[in-house]
Amino acid sequence: MTKLKQDYKFRQIMDVIVNMIKNEILSPGDKVPSLRKMSEDQGVSISTVMQAYMELESVGMIEARPQSGFYISKADIGPREQITRTKPSQEPVQVTKSEHVTTILEAMIDPDVIPLGCAIPSSDLLPHKELTNIMKKVLNMENTDLMEYGDTQGAKFFRQQIAYYMNMNGNSVHADNIIATNGAAEGMSLALRALTSPGDLVLMESPSYFGFMHLLETSKVFAMELPTCPEDGVDIDDLYQACKRYGVKAFLTQPNFGNPLGHSYPEEAKKEIVDICSRFNVPIIEDDINGDFALYGKRGSNLKKYDKDGNVIHISSFSKTLSSGMRIGWLEAGRYFDKIMKQKIASSLASNVITQLTFAHYLASGKYPRHLRKLNNSIKHHVESYTLKVLKYFPEGTRVSAPDGGFVLWVELPEHIDTNDIFHEALSNKISFTPGSIFSTQEKYNNCMRLNCGYPLDERIEKGIAKLGELCRAKV
Ligand SMILES: Cc1ncc(COP(=O)(O)O)c(C=O)c1O
């Protein structure tokens, strides 16, 4: 078949779907005819139908759901009041939040609670069978090296696969500058300890991931939160002033789909941040753990892409997209390689070789991009449906974030509602969520909560959201 004819055929299939939507034969949430049915009805090959469906998927008109087929995308949630720029007090503070964080985390562990607390996708969305098969093959290689510590820096094959993946994402990095870590958490810890001594000052977004609180507190450093806006990210002028005014030792940031706001910084802002920090010699610790969760198109670039003098330490892991239990992450050390390697030896000597190689073979199989597309389609659907439920059940005046990535929602309730109180009431009703107060070093965000959208919205989850809404409305 000539290329022209093939183009014509797949556009014809796209038109069929578009017309069905226009004429209300298919509505948001409806299943699109299967590949086989469409191919038989239209007299075209399955691959032509697939091509048409993938085109429609790329413009957000339809979405693939794992093991189920294609569906018409849900209707727009519509305009609503947005979360605005945050206003933390810009003072260096000693961090004393880790006890509070620990109490909250321990309370959420109960497997019987409705899982709106911990930020994790349902394991049904992750390729555990494929990973298990690969791990079996790795073990069957009967390589006795697998039973030893392995290279402190990480298995070469793993580092090569990470370098390939990072270069595909627009960064220019070499496998020799990558260090395997025990999850992103160890990466953050190695970087911070390599860069700071007790009493030093570290900058961060506000709100910031609560895991940083433990890290900052145990490192005995001071933290200063910067105003942050869901659309534009951290306030660039405030970052500039802080770098200029104080002898800052590191800037801890999540420029892509940060937890909890789900924002992605504009490209211009990313370049400016790298320039400012380079100018004032403030090392950047870039946490990209949610970077692959682009719900509406391509993932954003990393700060690493704009790093010309090795001032960015880039950290990530596959804990959210593949497996958190395998405990493997990595960092690209920039010019701080030697200092970080020293910390790695002190911290854990080496990372698990078997799980590194399992991830490496999975990446080499080429299946990761397709898995991400499917995962993100499901998560997008979850985030949108959870948002609708929060808007339905929560009190008037509630604002909900509109994340363009990641799988959590940030909910801002009327000012006087304290989600720390609601947390305990919710737990006694077997519902978890994360109170906003643990996302700040200060007494802030007490009227906020973070909701995990990693699980499909079934009847049980909807009941959980409805009950949370009821508990909040009782405080109005
Ligand atoms: C923003 C962020 N950074 C780091 C981590 C830690 O990731 P890992 O499980 O790879 O150590 C998490 C886990 O929830 C996270 O949300």
Write down the pLDDT at residue 156: 96
Exposed/middle/buried for 270, CB within 10 Å: 0-12, 13-18, 19+?
buried
Mutation probe of ligand 1 site: the residue of 105, 162, 181, 209 with most atoms within 8 A of C-beta: 209
Using the 8-state DSSP alphabet, how is residue 375 labeled?
Answer: H
- Calculate how far, in angstroms, residue 461's C-alpha sits from the geometric centre of ligand 1: 24
Interval 239-256: pLDDT, tens? 999 999 999 999 999 999
- Calculate how far, in angstroms, residue 289's C-alpha sits from the geometric centre of ligand 1: 6
Please say if the pLDDT value at position 93 is more than 60: yes
* 261 Cβ closer than 6 Å to some ligand 1 atom: no
Mutation probe of ligand 1 site: the residue of 182, 285, 317, 452 with most atoms within 8 A of C-beta: 317
Structural domains of the chain ordered from first start: 3-72 (1.10.10.10), 142-364 (3.40.640.10)
**Mean local confidence (pLDDT), 309-313:** 98
Concatenating the DSSP letter of every residue in 150-168 gives: --TT--HHHHHHHHHHHHH
Categorize the per-residue pLDDT at 103 as very low, low, confident or very high, splitting at 50, 70 and 90: confident
* 291 Cβ closer than 6 Å to some ligand 1 atom: no
| Nearest ligand 1 atom to alpha carbon 258 | 1
For strands 114-115 and 431-432, give the pairing: parallel
Residue 264 and residue 301: Cα distance in Å, rounded?
9
Tokens at 452, concatenated: 């995990």
- Calculate how far, in angstroms, residue 61's C-alpha sits from the geometric centre of ligand 1: 32
Please say if the pLDDT value at position 337 is more than 80: yes
- Calculate how far, in angstroms, residue 386's C-alpha sits from the geometric centre of ligand 1: 22
Interval 367-394: pLDDT, tens? 999 999 999 989 998 998 899 899 999 9
- Calculate how far, in angstroms, residue 119's C-alpha sits from the geometric centre of ligand 1: 9
* 183 Cβ closer than 6 Å to some ligand 1 atom: yes
Q: Check if the beta carbon of residue 217 is closer than 8 Å to that of residue 265.
A: no
The 3-state DSSP class for residue 179 equals strand
- Calculate how far, in angstroms, residue 339's C-alpha sits from the geometric centre of ligand 1: 22
Q: Which residues of 389-418 are buried (b: 16+ CB within 10 A; e: fewer)?
A: bbbebbeeebbbbbbbbbbbbbbbbeeebe
* 254 Cβ closer than 6 Å to some ligand 1 atom: yes
Its pTM stands at 0.85
Residue 14 and residue 156: Cα distance in Å, rounded?
45
Interval 340-364: pLDDT, tens? 999 999 999 999 999 999 999 999 9
For strands 178-181 and 329-332, give the pairing: antiparallel
* 185 Cβ closer than 6 Å to some ligand 1 atom: yes
